[in-house]
Amino acid sequence: MTLNNGVEIPQLGFGTYQIEPENTREAVRTALEVGYRHIDTAEMYGNEKEVGEGLRDSGLDRDDVFITSKLNNGFHAHDDALRAMDQTLADLQVERLDLFLVHWPLPGIDVDFVETWKAMEQIYRDGKARAIGVSNFQSNHLNRLRDQTDITPAVNQIEVHPYLTQDELRAFGAERGIATEAWSPIAQGKVLDDPAIVRVAERVGRTPAQVTLRWAIQRGDIVFPKSVTRSRVEENFALFDFELSEDDITAISALNRDERTGPDPDTFNYIPG
């Protein structure tokens, strides 16, 4: 897919959330062996160093792998954000990121996320990230960035799955050239036993996880499942040799309950101690 500044991003990536650092290096190496070329990590995950190690183990050229990381919630002040970015680059042992995101808007803390975004703009202008974006931002947060800053986020990484389809926020972003990245795409496994998804999976001869991920792909979202099991990593990658019908897409989308597995971005203000 092509972002709003012309940077190309693989629509399917490999997520590293909740992968322990001691398992991350091998997981990333395995994912790259399977064929993934997009790795998503974050300062908050505590495994950036190991992501970098897995990348180097793969033997792939740096330019062949799209790497995303995210600003930790404790570094929203302008100069703190700049230092945090430098630390991320050092931990990953890369000269620049492909995408750097503000992890959460944190609307209730004493640092305005507009200040944080201005630091992100400096990071972009300094060439330390090929694209910048946000994560878990709502439409009201995005409107403030539009009104008070210069650069439109390239992506908004938000929780999206069949029980939380986020159609309004996704459309809001699309109208402004902001791509949607879907985290928790299978709702931490909650959707996999849903009869509607199971029926589609049986009909197309795929697993419920593959059907759910294919639903996200066909809706135009960027998605990055994660696993430390090679067979599951391979299964999650096998999404491009089948298609869902429009009726399938509609039936799965109709499962929406506006049900989150994670925090509400309008009230979440957690800063790691």
Catalytic residues: 45
Output the CA torsion 155→173→265→50 (10° steps): -10
Length of the chain: 273
Tell me the CA end-to-end span of the chain in Å, nearest whole number.
37
Question: Could you tell me the CA-to-CA distances from 210 to 33, 44, 257 in Å, in that order?
Answer: 19, 28, 21
Residue 243 token pair: 């298609």
Q: Give CA–CA dist 94/127, Å, rounded.
A: 12
